[in-house]
């Protein structure tokens, strides 16, 4: 069984005011070529297809174009699950009708976890698409009042799968989750507010392969067969050293995996540059990638006249400028902290302390966390 694993396309993403749809289309054209040349038995897309619950029209059209070409031209089955950025109802619309064409989409969570059977020369492989759902949704659907958090939710859901697992078959899990020990980036929305959203990798021991989505760095977690494919492209400057790829898995008759990462080449890379303004301007002519998306950190002290305008004359796609002399400024957060890496609760707590001159109480933190969770559930169309 050959599986092509990808996730976190975030179609419709806007980054520093730039609509990334054309960049995403460029990379997805490569993905189509990879699918054609590698001839997988199935393609798995492990969540966060869109960047927000109501995606723009151009993002919907791009997904339609890619999926249609793969299904019509290559007849490769595709399994898609919703991630925490997707609206489960919108993503899952028409899913039962599309299954006949080989497109298996799982949006809204159901306690009766589906099984997709894909045949190969050794028999068949069972795929279990575990679509993303907030713990409150899982608790309600399973009617288990004591169930709390992502870890308990995952444990209980996998118990339900294991109860009917065919032990003599090769079984693959598809999940959009944060597995403990994974390397995070700034661009991922936390799965839990005011607590841990992590789940234990030991829960996945019964599966031949676990296709994960959510974390944007391609990586294995706990074992070779438990993997994130990573995001389609770089979605934050914390990812400048990532090498984006898709994962090709060969599953033999006994369920042993052979894994290859196939790199994706962006049209415009995401980079950081640091130095003095005049030095950067003088060296720009030697830079062969001046159209890349850039964050520039300037070492100059004192006032500068229109540095963004001067830099745009040589780097047209510059996105952000930082001044080292201002990084120690005490504003809303501790100067030793990078506010981009703070979770919502931490950022609000720091803001509250600056404004009210006292720390948030435990009860206030609980109320704030609940409010943010309800907000994100509302964005996804969950009740």
Task: Provide the pLDDT for residue 378.
Answer: 67
Q: Is the pLDDT at 232 greater than 90, yes or no?
A: yes
Question: In order of start, what are the domains of the chain with their CATH numbers?
Answer: 2-263 (3.60.21.10), 269-327 (3.30.160), 336-383 (no CATH)
Task: Provide the pLDDT for residue 230.
Answer: 97
User: pLDDT tens, 104-113?
Assistant: 999 999 999 9
Average pLDDT of the chain? 89
* Strand 293-298 to 270-275 pairing: parallel
Q: Is the pLDDT at 335 greater than 50, yes or no?
A: no
User: pLDDT tens, 165-175?
Assistant: 988 899 999 99
Task: Provide the pLDDT for residue 329.
Answer: 45
Task: Provide the pLDDT for residue 336.
Answer: 42
Q: Is the pLDDT at 243 greater than 50, yes or no?
A: yes
Q: Is the pLDDT at 354 greater than 70, yes or no?
A: no
User: pLDDT tens, 193-210?
Assistant: 555 689 999 999 999 999
Confidence category of residue 358, pLDDT binned at 50, 70, 90: confident
Choice between 89 and 249, residue whose per-residue pLDDT is larger: 249
Confidence category of residue 192, pLDDT binned at 50, 70, 90: low
Residue in the structure block whose two tokens are 């934050």 = 236
Strand, coil or helix: what is 103?
strand
Q: Is residue 278 within a helix (H) or strand (E), and if so which, with residue range? A: helix 277-283
Most confident of 13-17, 332-336, 354-358: 13-17
User: pLDDT tens, 213-231?
Assistant: 999 999 999 999 999 999 9
Task: Provide the pLDDT for residue 189.
Answer: 79
Mean pLDDT of 159-188: 91
Q: Is the pLDDT at 383 greater than 60, yes or no?
A: no
Q: Is the pLDDT at 78 greater than 90, yes or no?
A: yes
- Report DSSP letters for 265-332, one per residue: --SS-EEEEEE-HHHHHHHGGG-TTTTSEEEEEE---S--SSHHHHHHTT-TTEEEEEEGGGTT--SS
Q: Return d(Cα 340, Cα 327) in angstroms, integer.
A: 13
User: pLDDT tens, 121-140?
Assistant: 999 999 999 999 999 999 99
Q: Which two tokens stand for residue 59?
A: 């993002």
Task: Provide the pLDDT for residue 332.
Answer: 39
Confidence category of residue 381, pLDDT binned at 50, 70, 90: low
Q: Is the pLDDT at 71 greater than 70, yes or no?
A: yes
Q: Is the pLDDT at 330 greater than 50, yes or no?
A: no
Q: Return d(Cα 24, Cα 17) in angstroms, integer.
A: 15
Task: Provide the pLDDT for residue 55.
Answer: 94
Task: Provide the pLDDT for residue 342.
Answer: 62
Contacts of 234 (CB under 8 A, 6+ apart): 240, 242, 244, 266, 269, 270
Choice between 355 and 131, residue whose per-residue pLDDT is larger: 131
């Amino acid at each position: 069984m050959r599986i092509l694993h990808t996730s976190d396309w975030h179609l419709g993403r806007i980054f520093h005011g730039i609509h990334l749809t054309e960049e995403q289309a460029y990379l997805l054209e490569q993905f189509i070529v990879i699918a054609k040349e590698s001839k997988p038995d199935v393609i798995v897309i492990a969540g966060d297809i869109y960047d927000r619950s109501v995606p723009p029209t151009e993002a919907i059209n791009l997904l339609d174009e890619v999926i249609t070409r793969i299904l019509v031209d290559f007849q490769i089955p595709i399994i898609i699950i919703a991630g925490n950025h997707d609206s489960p109802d919108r993503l899952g619309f028409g899913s039962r009708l599309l299954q006949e064409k080989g497109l298996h989409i799982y949006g809204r969570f159901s306690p009766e976890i589906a099984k997709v059977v894909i045949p190969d020369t050794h028999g068949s492989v069972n795929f279990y698409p575990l679509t993303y759902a907030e713990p409150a949704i899982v608790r309600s659907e399973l009617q288990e009042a004591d169930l709390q958090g992502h870890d308990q939710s995952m444990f209980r859901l996998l118990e339900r799968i294991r109860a009917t697992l065919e032990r003599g078959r090769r079984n693959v899990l598809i999940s959009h989750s944060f597995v403990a020990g994974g390397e995070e980036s700034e661009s991922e929305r936390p799965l839990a507010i005011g607590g841990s959203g992590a789940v234990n990798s030991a829960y996945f021991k019964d599966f031949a392969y676990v296709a994960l989505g959510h974390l944007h760095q391609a990586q294995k977690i706990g074992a070779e067969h438990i993997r994130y494919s990573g995001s389609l492209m770089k979605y934050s400057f914390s990812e400048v050293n990532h090498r984006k790829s898709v994962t090709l898995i060969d599953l033999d008759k006994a369920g042993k995996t052979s894994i290859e990462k196939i790199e994706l080449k962006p049209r415009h890379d995401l980079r950081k540059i640091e130095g003095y303004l005049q030095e950067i301007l003088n060296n720009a002519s030697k830079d062969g990638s001046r159209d890349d998306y850039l964050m520039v950190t300037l070492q100059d002290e004192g006032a500068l006249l229109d540095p963004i305008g001067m830099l745009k004359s040589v780097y047209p796609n510059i996105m952000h400028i930082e001044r080292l002399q201002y990084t120690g400024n005490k504003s809303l957060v501790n100067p030793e902290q990078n506010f981009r890496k703070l979770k919502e609760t931490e950022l609000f707590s720091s803001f509250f302390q600056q404004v009210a001159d006292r720390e948030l109480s435990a009860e206030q933190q609980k109320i704030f966390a609940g409010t943010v969770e309800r907000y994100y559930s509302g964005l996804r169309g969950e009740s």
